[in-house]
Amino acid sequence: MYRIFTDMTGRTIEVNFPLQRIVSLVPSQTELLYDLGLADEVVGITKFCVHPQDWFRDKKRVGGTKTINIDIVRSLRPDLILANKEENTKEQIEEMAKSLPVWVSDIQTMGDAMCMIRNVGVMTGMMNNAMALDREIKAGFKSIKKSQVRRRVAYFIWRDPWMCAGGDTFISDMITQMGWENVFAEDNRYPEVSDEELASLDVDLVLLSSEPFPFKEEHIAHIKALLPHTEVMLVDGEMFSWYGSRMKLASPYFNGLISSGLVRG
């Protein structure tokens, strides 16, 4: 039996249903498949799909998110491939889509993420679990005790060059969900910032992410030298950028940041 689904870029795909063989090319969506209750159906993941740990150890790895080994993917004979517009490369998605069912997510907001979760629930036959997760995540975010002060925040994802999250990113929407303001909200994607530009920023708080660049204490010192009156702290990048089931852990994490002594709300 075949069914037709439309992905978040407007493409339609035909898949063998019910799904028996799924390949996930996106770490946050891999974890989502696990939390929806799937197990043997997932036959391939990337080397960055670190959650759950037993899948990271035991599932077939098909390369990195931007360096997929398409031959390995083909050999797994997937009924469905889950990809993402930003995390995977356009060229590799298009190449796989010539002969394989590739469903592409496109996520910039919490609303987009919830839509993706529900769609994956439908495609995998796990809609009840997806709706329960949908309710849990929404309740968690509704419980966020938003900052009473509109703090201006810069969220760094890379070093050499410095790169920050722009306004059309999921990360930026998470900052907004906390009641803060992204100082790069007018920029698209991930703008580069020089030391001189950084020193001139009107910013209350700099967040240094644990991924994709693994920021350390030494980087705090560098930024503090440029912005001596600005708070700088390391944060868990998964909480800000993983738009799958990890969002149920993000809301209590955000509440902790807002209420902590380091981040004065």
Domain residue spans of the chain:
2-106, 152-259
Element (H, E) at 39: none
In tens, the pLDDT along 121-178 reads 999 999 999 999 999 999 999 999 998 888 999 999 999 999 999 999 999 999 999 9
The C-alpha atoms of residue 250 and residue 156 are separated, in whole angstroms, by: 18
User: In this structure, what token pair is assigned to residue 90?
Assistant: 């356009």
In the chain, the amino acid numbered 90 is K
pLDDT tens for the chain, 265 residues: list them: 899 999 999 999 999 999 999 999 999 999 999 999 999 999 999 999 999 999 999 999 999 999 999 999 999 999 999 999 999 999 999 999 999 999 999 999 999 999 999 999 999 999 999 999 999 999 999 999 998 888 999 999 999 999 999 999 999 999 999 999 999 999 999 999 999 998 999 999 999 999 999 999 999 999 999 999 999 999 999 999 999 999 999 999 999 999 874 444 4
Task: Round to the nearest angstrom and report the end-to-end CA distance of the chain.
Answer: 54
2-106 and 152-259: identical CATH topology: yes
* Bridge partners (DSSP) listed for residue 261: none
CB 188 within 8 A of CB 159: no
Could you tell me which CATH number the domain at 152-259 has? 3.40.50.1980
Does 3.40.50.1980 match the CATH number of domain 2-106?
yes
The C-alpha atoms of residue 254 and residue 260 are separated, in whole angstroms, by: 10
